[in-house]
Amino acid sequence: MNIKYILRGTKDIGKVYIRLYQSGFDVSIPVGLSLEFSSWNKLKEASDNESFNLVLQKLKVDILEKFNSDYGIGVIIDKDWLKNVVSLHFNRDSKEENLSNLSYRIYLSDFCDFWLKNEAKKWKVSARKYMDDGLISQYERFATILKSYEKSSKKIKLSEVDQEELYNFVSFLEDEDYNSSTINRHVTRLKFFCNRALELNINVNKGFNQRIFIEDTKDAEDVYLNEVEIESILKLDLSDHPKLNNVRDYFIIGLHSGFRIGDLLENLKLEHIKGDFIEIKTQKTGQNVVIPVHDEIRKVLKRNFGFLPPKVDRNSYNIDIKTICQLAEIDEMVYGSKFDKEKLRKVYSYYKKYELITSHVARKSIATMYYGKLPNEVLCSILGWSNEAMLSFYNKTSKQDYAKQFKNYIENGK
């Protein structure tokens, strides 16, 4: 079997075709890649573009391996066979031919939009009742949340919605302050859309249907930073690590504002800082929050010449703040949970404290530091809560901390 690439087209940019031929057998199809004619050389590859050539080489190897395995067991080798091999190699939907604008067959959020627009009103929720506008709006709300998650990571392909992706989505919802029952509901809706895609013969990763475990809100780990630990982060010399220094600046803002990660890394703009106050409309609840500009936040702005630090993405932020806390020697052993990639679930055990640090720790820390020192309604206003129930939950003062306070009162009378 001979394999070669051909660049075809009538303009400056051509489409790459792959040709298979051998003793009377000759088929060629486009592989979905494009290249400028000026970059195509006599060796049938791209000049000065090793990454592009590597893609072509890997596809050729994959086709040869598949040909040898399928030919030996009697599989018919034809144009449809070649199309399928190329689609699988690039992880594309097998029915993608002539569907260049039908992204709903590829991406989960696009499918949600397509289904809600074209199929929702035909979906029966009971024997005699179809999905009504109220229920549709709830699923539209889910689609909006899903798109926010995609902004923090990447656009999710239906063919890649596996168990690990579900856990990543759960972590995102936890960071955004959703309780366990709401998280369960959104995961159920994600699976609902995957099942609807399957019914339309779209390629969906069957891993979406795996069982996942969501912590009950009341069982969430009680990890927060106290004032001594925050001071150790402030004093840490990161002058030789500009990326970590930048992440620390955002962590400092979070520790002295209580912002959720979406508001901190995506929503917050310089124009929200007005004199002595930060005025912002929160992403999750749409509440208008006004908080004072802490001295440490002013120092961050001064270090950045009056501007906010350069933006960082959510995933690297959660990794880097663990490193920062490790360097600050925040390493006492505490009980909590971490996601285990092998077991594909969170595992409860004793870990060094820095291992359990996430963006949400900042929100827990400010609630704990000021609980009892400020009126509850003040803290609720700053943190964007409509009632005091969440404040009670977010106060993570441990029994050990309360015991130390009692001991100090006995010994010093305060």
State the pLDDT at residue 406: 36
**Residue 363: band (very low, low, confident or very high) from pLDDT cuts 50, 70, 90:** confident
Of the listed ranges 214-228, 270-284, 306-320, 348-362, the least confidently predicted one is: 214-228
Most confident of 188-192, 201-205, 272-276: 188-192
List the 288-292 sheet strands across, edge first: 273-274, 277-281, 288-292
**Length of the chain in terms of residues written:** 414
Rounded CA-CA distance 272/293 in Å is 11
Is 339 exposed, middle or buried, given 0-12, 13-18 or 19+ CB atoms closer than 10 A? middle
Residue 317 tokens read as 């932020």
Residue 246 in this model has a pLDDT that exceeds 70: yes
Rounded CA-CA distance 389/394 in Å is 9
- DSSP H or E segment with residue 183: helix 180-199
Looking up tokens 């190897």, which residue turns up? Answer: 61
For range 399-404, the mean pLDDT: 44
State the pLDDT at residue 369: 67
Looking up tokens 């901190």, which residue turns up? Answer: 264
> Cβ of 5: how many Cβ atoms within 10 Å?
21
> CATH number of 227-412: 1.10.357.10, 1.10.443.10, 2.40.30.10, 3.20.10.10?
1.10.443.10
Is 376 exposed, middle or buried, given 0-12, 13-18 or 19+ CB atoms closer than 10 A? middle
Rounded CA-CA distance 31/100 in Å is 13
State the pLDDT at residue 379: 53
Rounded CA-CA distance 8/17 in Å is 7
> Cβ of 54: how many Cβ atoms within 10 Å?
11
Closest CA to 358 of 145, 153, 172: 172
For range 4-25, the mean pLDDT: 85
State the pLDDT at residue 329: 95
Quick: pLDDT tens for 321-359. 999 999 999 999 988 878 777 765 667 788 999 999 988
CA angle 98, 102, 107 (to 5 degrees): 130
* Cβ within 8 Å of residue 224, ≥6 positions away: 361, 364, 365, 368, 396
Domain 103-218 has CATH 1.10.150: yes
Quick: pLDDT tens for 63-115. 999 988 888 888 888 888 998 888 888 876 555 444 444 688 889 999 999 99
Task: Decide if 74 contacts 67 (C-beta within 8 A).
Answer: no
Residue 400 tokens read as 């050990």
Domain with CATH 1.10.150 in the chain: 103-218
Question: How does the average pLDDT of the chain come out, rounded?
Answer: 82
Task: Decide if 56 contacts 5 (C-beta within 8 A).
Answer: yes
**Residue 171: band (very low, low, confident or very high) from pLDDT cuts 50, 70, 90:** confident
For range 270-274, the mean pLDDT: 91
Q: How many CA atoms lie within 13 A of 272 on its CB side?
A: 21
**Residue 386: band (very low, low, confident or very high) from pLDDT cuts 50, 70, 90:** very low
Looking up tokens 């009742």, which residue turns up? Answer: 129
Q: Are strands 2-8 and 25-36 parallel, antiparallel or unpaired?
A: unpaired
CA angle 328, 333, 339 (to 5 degrees): 90
> Cβ of 86: how many Cβ atoms within 10 Å?
19
State the pLDDT at residue 395: 44
Domain with CATH 1.10.443.10 in the chain: 227-412
Beta bridge mates, 339: 346
Looking up tokens 């592009």, which residue turns up? Answer: 52
